[in-house]
Amino acid sequence: MENIVLDALKRRRSIRRYKPEQITDEELRAVLEAGTWAPTGMGYQDPWIVAVQNPALLDRISRMNRAILGSDSDPFYGAPTYVLVFASDPAQWANSVCDGSLVLGNMMIAAHAIGLGSCWINREREMFSTPEGKELMRELGLPDGLIGIGALALGYPASFPPTVKPRKENYYRIIK
Predicted confidence (pLDDT) at residue 161 exceeds the cutoff of 90: no
User: Is residue 113 in some structural domain?
Assistant: yes
- Could you give the CA distance from residue 150 to residue 83 in angstroms, rounded to a whole number? 9
- Could you give the CA distance from residue 95 to residue 170 in angstroms, rounded to a whole number? 28
Average pLDDT rounded to a whole number, residues 21-25: 98
User: Is residue 160 in some structural domain?
Assistant: no
Question: pLDDT of 71-120, one tens digit each?
Answer: 999 999 999 999 999 999 999 999 999 999 999 999 999 999 999 999 99
Predicted confidence (pLDDT) at residue 17 exceeds the cutoff of 90: yes
What's the total number of domains in the chain?
1
Query: Any idea what the CATH number is for the domain that residue 85 is in?
Result: 3.40.109.10
Question: Which pLDDT belongs to residue 87?
Answer: 98
Q: Are 31 and 116 in contact (CB under 8 A)?
A: yes
Predicted confidence (pLDDT) at residue 162 exceeds the cutoff of 90: no
* DSSP reduced 3-state for 9: helix
User: Is residue 52 in some structural domain?
Assistant: yes
| Residue among 83, 128, 133 nearest 108 (CA) | 83
- Could you give the CA distance from residue 79 to residue 92 in angstroms, rounded to a whole number? 33
Question: Which pLDDT belongs to residue 163?
Answer: 83
User: Is residue 171 in some structural domain?
Assistant: no
User: Is residue 176 in some structural domain?
Assistant: no
Question: pLDDT of 115-135, one tens digit each?
Answer: 999 999 999 999 999 999 999
User: Is residue 43 in some structural domain?
Assistant: yes
The dihedral built from the CA positions of residue 29, 96, 106 and 164, taken in this order, carries a sign that is positive
pLDDT over 70 percentage in the chain: 100
User: Is residue 60 in some structural domain?
Assistant: yes
User: Is residue 169 in some structural domain?
Assistant: no
Question: pLDDT of 46-65, one tens digit each?
Answer: 999 999 999 999 999 999 99
Domain enclosing residue 101, as ranges: 4-155
Predicted confidence (pLDDT) at residue 164 exceeds the cutoff of 90: no
Average pLDDT rounded to a whole number, residues 5-21: 96
